[in-house]
Structure 1
Amino acid sequence: MHFMAGPAGSQSLGPLGLHRTPHSLYMVFLMVLIMMSLVSAQQPKYLRCYRCLLETKELGCLLGSDICLAPAGSSCLTLHIKNSSGTDILVSDCRRKEQMSDCSHTRTSPVFGYWIFSQCCFLDFCNNPQNRVLNLP
């Protein structure tokens, strides 16, 4: 097999299919992108929530900062524990579908003088301190 220099030489590689390689790679790349977009369009399996067992607005999370996962259809929860002097203690966590009966209502606390306001939200990390300002009172 003889290879010639110049334009005629590059055409002699044609029967080997080497001049079509960039087009084939482009098609494979395009198919991979389409498949990735279809996979990412599916609903996530878990909701990711911010978890903190003891937090104040002034000091931030004091105990148990973490991330919790709840099955799809569940919610993120923030409990505001308040008293008449304006003290606001926060607890953030995940709530499964079966536990969402305590979403969005106010009740008295077992500790005299305090009440609890609970609020649920349904997007990833919607109850973290940065997003809570937009989603919660």
Structure 2
Amino acid sequence: MDSAKVWDRDAVIHLINTSKPALAKALWTIYQRQTADEQRTQTTNVRNKRGFNSNDAQFLSDVARKLPLYDFNLTDRQMAKVRPMMRKYWRQLLEEIERKGGAVVKSPKRAKAIGRESERAIPRETAPVRREIANPLYGAWTL
């Protein structure tokens, strides 16, 4: 991994979509985040936001378990099925990149939202105090 690269959701998904070795590595990485019991039974037993979800656990665990036997190569059919499933695990992949020392931007939207929250904290002198002033139609509805 390039240490100067800053990883985000789009970069991880792009890598999964374009690189066969990266797809296999991502699958193996998420498989390793499963608990030992989950790996053994190929299910999801613990709701810890780690590893595969319950819908994907059996298939992806089976494919991941066989990766070392085939030098971490996926067949074309496996890639066609695994690739769309692996896109949803981008958050966990970012956590692993960050854990290994990579630069990560978890959510640009969240960064923008935090910026807006800090702007809201500043009192604005131009904001009207009473509803009647804020909305000239307030209270104008009569029957």
The TM-score with structure 1 as length reference comes to 0.22
Larger Rg computed on CA atoms: 1
Normalising by structure 2, report the TM-score.
0.22
Larger % of helix: which? 2
Structure with greater strand percent? 1
